[in-house]
Amino acid sequence: MRMGGINKGRLKLCGKDFVEILHGEFSPLGNVYIVGREEDFPEYPTLRDYFENSGPVGGVLSALNFSNTEKVLIIPCDSPLFSKEHVMYLLDNIGDHKIAAFFTEKPTPIPGIYRKELFDDLLNFFKSGGRSISAFALSRKSIFIHPRSWRSIRGVNTPEEYSKLLKLKGC
């Protein structure tokens, strides 16, 4: 069972929303935007999905389209343990790749760093029926790195995973 329609960005960890944790962690690095509905996150700058109901592809398209930097960090709102250390690890390893992300049991393209130049390729991929961000990432010059700490990049997708996270953090 997944999270049943719960806004995962509003789940709490030690008294803070996941998005609050991530915003606090990453705002010192630059502008942070939430891809989602403004009414769900009124206290944060938000971007709408490039295409409504397009899943992760729509969110990545929005971020790439809006960004004015060469490299764009994409983090899901359900990964509150993701840290600046992970970002630095990706940046240290991106080289001339178009995407740098992690490999857990399989390639995990989000969280990851995407080059802005991928916007047109991703848009064409979507328009031709592509919906899997994994398929897109695997079809481009990407590097998937084994994370130092697997648990910290993994998203919270089920009530059981959320319960484990709360126990892990002692909340």
Task: Output the pLDDT for position 1.
Answer: 46
Task: Output the pLDDT for position 150.
Answer: 65
DSSP 7: -
CA dist 144 and 133 (Å) reads: 14
In a domain, 51, yes or no: yes
Dump pLDDT digits (tens) for 18-36. 999 999 999 999 899 999 8
Range of the domain at 133: 8-169
Backbone phi and psi for residue 64, each to the nearest 5 degrees, phi listed first: -65, -40
Residues of the chain where predicted confidence (pLDDT) is lower than 50: 1
CA dist 19 and 79 (Å) reads: 9
**Residue 124's CATH number:** 3.90.550.10
Q: Are 119 and 110 in contact (CB under 8 A)?
A: no
What contacts 34, CB < 8 A, 6 or more positions away? 9, 19, 23, 41, 44, 45, 46, 47, 77
* Tokens matching residue 38: 């403004």
In a domain, 3, yes or no: no
In a domain, 2, yes or no: no
Task: Output the pLDDT for position 10.
Answer: 96
Angle formed by the axes of helices 55-66 and 119-127, to 10°?
150
Task: Output the pLDDT for position 11.
Answer: 96
What contacts 144, CB < 8 A, 6 or more positions away? 101, 102, 103, 107, 108, 109
Task: Output the pLDDT for position 149.
Answer: 67
Task: Output the pLDDT for position 151.
Answer: 67
In a domain, 1, yes or no: no
* Tokens matching residue 156: 């919270």
DSSP 74: E
Task: Output the pLDDT for position 73.
Answer: 96
In a domain, 26, yes or no: yes
Number of domains forming the structure of the chain = 1
* Tokens matching residue 109: 């393209």
